[in-house]
């Protein structure tokens, strides 16, 4: 395959995929496959998430993160690996690093009431935690969670077609999956000299999950590492989501699809006193999903590169590497 060195993230229209027009659908799959085999990122529009709803969630999380630290810490649950509720400043670090990222965040997962009692997966998940100070948070966050989960399922259908799989290959593997909506606050630094010299908003990393769907952030800073070693800025229009490949999908496809390294850089020193907000949706499968490399992605030129593992095993390993699980 010819390598394409993108200077910006390719833009696609999800409406082309779900339109019912076979030609548009095939063109969408082709563009998506090219992008995911090269840079691992695309920007999509017509994903179903309204600007009004996004604005509501940003308003809510700004309210939450402006609460005193002692109030926010009521919602911190290290005993569940911080998988629901609040995670305090500097608690997470990138794999291979010890310096904590300059951020705090809030996790929302599957709403237990949405999962049938007959599905054993229900017993694996902790209940969501909702801050009593902000009554509207629950309804808005769950609305966005469900909308992004649906958009993610459509993206996975396109990925399945690109890989030569049945279109619904991922459906049974992601239904009531362990996906996380993460509201992030990259907090202001009033005195940059007081933080470690190597501390950044988010050190370079690949995402753990199958795919990540990212709502527009409140400020610049996101960069992706191109395969020639150049960092390029990730920008999306207000009506777009940025959707990137995660490590689980890279494992499944034996690196045919790229989980590209990305980071959030610090702003210029004179802007360090400002906040940045970001809301990614990390789309995870069910814990029992087998991430063994697909046979169709293994050949003499690309021998198998990963040990067999389930999604649950891989997630557990990565949470320990990030310092969120002991």
Is the separation of the CB atoms in 322 and 93 below 8 Å?
A: yes
The rounded percent of the chain whose pLDDT value lies above 90 is 63
Is the separation of the CB atoms in 151 and 46 below 8 Å?
A: no
Given a cut of 80, whether residue 50 has pLDDT beyond it is yes
Mean pLDDT of 70-95: 86
Domains of the chain: 46-321 (2.60.120.330)
Q: What is the pLDDT of residues 270-303, one digit of tens each?
A: 777 888 898 999 999 999 999 999 999 999 999 9
Given a cut of 90, whether residue 103 has pLDDT beyond it is no
Given a cut of 70, whether residue 326 has pLDDT beyond it is no
Q: What is the pLDDT of residues 227-279, one digit of tens each?
A: 788 888 887 778 899 999 999 999 999 999 989 888 887 777 777 788 889 89
Question: What is the distance between the alpha carbons of residues 190 and 135, in angstroms, rounded to a whole number?
Answer: 30
Given a cut of 60, whether residue 146 has pLDDT beyond it is yes
- Angle (CA) 150-153-158 rounded to 5° is 135
Region for 145 from its dihedrals, namely left if φ exceeds 0, alpha if ψ lies in -120 to 50, beta otherwise:
alpha
CA 266 to chain centre: 20
Q: Would the pTM count as exceeding 0.85?
A: yes
Check residue 237 and give its pLDDT.
Answer: 77
Given a cut of 80, whether residue 202 has pLDDT beyond it is no
Q: What is the pLDDT of residues 156-191, one digit of tens each?
A: 999 999 999 999 999 999 999 999 999 999 888 777
């Amino acid at each position: 395959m010819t390598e394409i060195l993108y200077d910006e993230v390719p833009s696609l229209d999800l409406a082309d995929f779900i339109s019912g027009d076979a030609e548009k659908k095939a063109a969408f799959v082709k563009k998506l496959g090219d992008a995911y085999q090269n840079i691992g990122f695309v920007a999509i529009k017509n994903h179903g998430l309204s600007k009004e709803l996004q604005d509501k969630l940003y308003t809510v999380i700004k309210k939450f993160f402006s609460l005193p630290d002692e109030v926010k810490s009521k919602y911190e649950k290290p005993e569940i690996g911080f998988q629901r509720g609040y995670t305090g400043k500097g608690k997470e670090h990138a794999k291979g690093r010890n310096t904590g990222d300059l951020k705090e965040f809030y996790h929302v997962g599957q709403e237990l009431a949405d999962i049938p009692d007959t599905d054993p997966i229900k017993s694996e998940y902790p209940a969501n935690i909702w801050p009593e100070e902000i009554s509207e948070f629950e309804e808005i966050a769950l609305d966005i969670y469900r909308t992004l989960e649906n958009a993610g399922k459509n993206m996975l259908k396109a990925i399945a077609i690109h890989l030569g799989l049945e279109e619904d290959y991922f459906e049974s593997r992601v239904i009531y999956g362990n996906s996380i909506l993460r509201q992030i606050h990259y907090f202001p630094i009033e005195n940059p000299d007081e933080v470690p010299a190597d501390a950044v908003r988010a050190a370079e990393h690949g995402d753990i999950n199958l795919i990540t769907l990212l709502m527009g952030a409140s400020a610049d800073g996101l960069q992706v590492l191109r395969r020639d070693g150049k960092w390029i800025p990730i920008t999306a229009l207000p009506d777009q989501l940025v959707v990137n490949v995660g490590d689980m999908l890279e494992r499944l496809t034996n690196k045919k699809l790229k989980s590209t390294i990305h980071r959030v850089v610090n702003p210029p020193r004179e802007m360090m006193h400002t906040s940045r907000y970001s809301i990614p949706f990390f789309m995870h499968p069910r814990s029992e999903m087998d991430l063994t490399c697909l046979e169709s992605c293994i050949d003499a030129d690309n021998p198998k590169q990963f040990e067999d593992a389930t999604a649950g095993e891989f997630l557990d390993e990565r949470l320990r590497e990030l310092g969120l699980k002991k």
